[in-house]
Amino acid sequence: MKSKPISLKTLDIVSLILLAVATYLALVFAPTERVMGDVQRVFYFHVATAWVGLLGFVAAGVSGIIYLKTQDLKWDLVEQAAVEISLVFFFITIILGSIWARPIWNTWWTWDPRLTSASIVELIYLAYLMLRQGIDDPDRRARFGAVYTLVGAVSVPITFLSIRMFRTIHPVVIGNKSAAADGGFAMTGDMKIAFFFALFAFTIIFIDLFWNRIRLGQLEQKVEQLKLKVME
């Protein structure tokens, strides 16, 4: 495997710096929300991890389409990398949401449309990784993955729009000045700075992890090709 390019090394460092700054803005710079108190601070990372998680699932679906058109296995690699990283981020989203919900809703979990749809998305893509492992042929595995992620991508807009489509207690903070839902609140100027910086920071972190995972996947593909040659 080729040594890590200097651009990726730089991106690794930048990602760590951005994460540190985003953490400072969320925990120190942003003012304490007057009703919920400090627990509201998880909101900044809760939304940011959800954003990159859903973004990655969409990227996987797009990669699946490109693979079906080109039959180039590199797009299967891109697709798998996007799903793996997004699963981790989306799991963090669910955990942070539970931490936020406990003092606000007096429960760690409720079968609210947003929480339910988010859990379904996580299970859909977890099943994707598990089912892939049962297919040995690389081309068949890639075709399966492409179709699966393309269909699975339909769940992304449903999850995003669930708090606007259904009656829910999950707050709609962005574009909802009334903040009528339980846990809703109006963001101040400093809160918006912390919020949008977190979105930016986690987008860069996602790109960094995505790039690193693709490089690892390329090595895995070479090992798999060697195994297939030995078995011939």
Using pLDDT thresholds of 50, 70 and 90, give the confidence band for residue 109.
Answer: confident
| pLDDT at site 177 | 44
- Measured between alpha carbons, how far is 79 from 82 in angstroms, rounded to an integer? 5
Share of the chain above pLDDT 70, in %: 86
Mean pLDDT of 168-186: 55
How do the domains of the chain map onto residue ranges?
A: 38-231
| pLDDT at site 155 | 82
Contact (CB, 8 A) for 186 and 176: no
Mean pLDDT of 36-62: 91
For 59, how many CA atoms within 13 A lie in the half-sphere containing its CB? 22
| pLDDT at site 140 | 93
| pLDDT at site 180 | 44
Phi and psi for 76 in degrees, rounded to 5?
-65, -40
Mean pLDDT of 30-47: 88
Using pLDDT thresholds of 50, 70 and 90, give the confidence band for residue 118.
Answer: confident
Token pair in block for residue 104:
């606000």
Token pair in block for residue 2:
């080729």
DSSP code for 169: S
Phi and psi for 24 in degrees, rounded to 5?
-60, -45
Residues in the chain: 232
Contact (CB, 8 A) for 9 and 220: no
Residue with the bigger pLDDT between 104 and 7: it is 7
Mean pLDDT of 36-42: 86
Q: What is the DSSP string of 25-58?
A: IIIIISPPBTTTBGGGGHHHHHHHHHHHHHHHHH
**Over the chain, what is the mean pLDDT?**
86
The pLDDT of residue 28 is above 60: yes
Contact (CB, 8 A) for 109 and 98: yes
142-168 pLDDT per residue, tens: 999 999 999 888 888 777 666 666 566
Using pLDDT thresholds of 50, 70 and 90, give the confidence band for residue 179.
Answer: very low
Mean pLDDT of 88-110: 85
Query: Using alpha carbons only, what angle is made at residue 168 by residues 175 and 112, rounded to the nearest 5 degrees?
Result: 130
CA 108 to chain centre: 21
